Amino acid sequence: MRDGSLRRLVKATVRAIWWVELTARRRLRPPRFRLAGTCEGCGACCERPTIAVGRAIWFLPVTRRIFVAWQRYINGFVLVERIREGRALAFRCTHYDPETLLCDSYDSRPALCRDYPRLLLHQPWPELFEACTYRVVDRHGAGLSEAIDALELAPGEAVRLKERLRLDDGPPTDSS
């Protein structure tokens, strides 16, 4: 169901606070990884929005209930699974139409939707949805990439190795 004016206002306020905090964090501690590639609109991040949460939300029932209720009533996310690996909560989004792959409240979507998958870049080893057409690239991988180039490897092996290690010579995606 499309967001009404009150929900839009609440989401805009939370988004503004989130952006301030996120911008400061990125300036102070730039992530090890950057993004390459572009969004091809596969819809995977809308089919199953997944949020990694801190210990207070994962372990404490009260804070978890508050967090899940917020996601339900403000963002329209319904909890479908708790994923132990990576301590994440997976949701179904009530704004998403799986037929058209469209969001019914795109202009008021939450910050995490706007920032996916950039928001994962601070994780130790970010994992994107399998269908996602972005790639995660190690910013500090140039030396290792050159060392691999100097090895006498079987045809294609250097490319595969670089992919596995997230080394990439391609141009960075805007602002990642």
Residues lying near ligand SF4 in the complex (CB under 6 A): 39-46, 49, 93, 95-96, 103, 106, 109, 113, 116-117, 129, 131-134
Nearer to ligand SF4, 42 or 161 (CB): 42
Both tokens assigned to 17: 């606070």
Q: Which is nearer to ligand SF4, 145 or 173 (CB)?
A: 173
For residue 25, how many C-alpha atoms fall within 13 Å in the half-sphere facing its CB?
11
Closest contact distance (angstroms) between CB of 126 and ligand SF4 is 12
Whichever of 21 and 40 has its CB closer to ligand SF4, that residue is 40
Cα dist from 137 to 3, 32, 38, 122, whole Å? 36, 9, 13, 12
What residue type is 166 in one-letter code?
Answer: R
Structure-block tokens of residue 49? 């929005």
Q: How far is the CB of 13 from ligand SF4 (least distance, A)?
A: 17
**Backbone φ, ψ for residue 30 (5° rounding):** -60, 140
Residue 36 or 42: the one with the smaller Cβ distance to ligand SF4 is: 42
